[in-house]
Amino acid sequence: MKVVVIQGPNLNMLGVREQHIYGPMKLEHIHAQMKDFATQNGVEIEFFQSNLEGEIVDRVQECYGDANGIIINPAAYTHTSIAIRDAIAAVNLPTIEVHISNIHRREEFRKINMIAPVCASSIVGFGPFGYHLAMIGVLQMMNEIQAAGEVQKTQQVK
């Protein structure tokens, strides 16, 4: 099984930018923790970060036929990107949206979420730990899909 983690704009600046909101942890450390968890669970994991909307759309689309699940932090594009939303809907993979801060307790414009309606779930406000929660969630969904497929195969054989 394979999970692709897609990080949006300015997340490459974690640990530097607005530490009072996002904390001191750098993106590389978050990814290292996720990789450890994935390895412990026999899951392949791949990371991608871009500040460009079109590159994020391309990476989501590349997951079709290549990955079993997506974890995405679209960052500022959460509030504006119909293109990312449509890409997630098109690939129809278990997708969990993550936000380090609680976007619902921030500026009014951050309360608009274009992405959440096409994701299986959203995790907000847990800081970097939200990525760990997302890993648990996406693995559970992937296991349930795999189990359902095995049940279906068994029923077809009978």
Active site residue 77: no
Q: Of residues 22, 29, 31, 104, which has the active-site annotation?
A: 22
Residue 139 CA, chain-centre distance (Å), reads 12
One-letter amino acid at 11 equals L
Check: CB of residue 51 under 8 Å from CB of residue 6.
Answer: no
DSSP 8-state code for residue 126: S
Q: By C-alpha distance, which of 118, 105, 15, 40 is closest to 72?
A: 118
Neighbours of 58 (CB within 10 A): 13
CA 70, CA 131: separation in Å to the nearest integer? Answer: 11
Active site residue 22: yes
* Residue 102: exposure state from Cβ atoms within 10 A (0-12, 13-18, ≥19): middle
Q: Of residues 99, 104, 131, 132, which has the active-site annotation?
A: 99
Q: Is the dihedral of CA 89, 140, 142, 32 positive or negative?
A: positive
Catalytically annotated residues: 22, 99
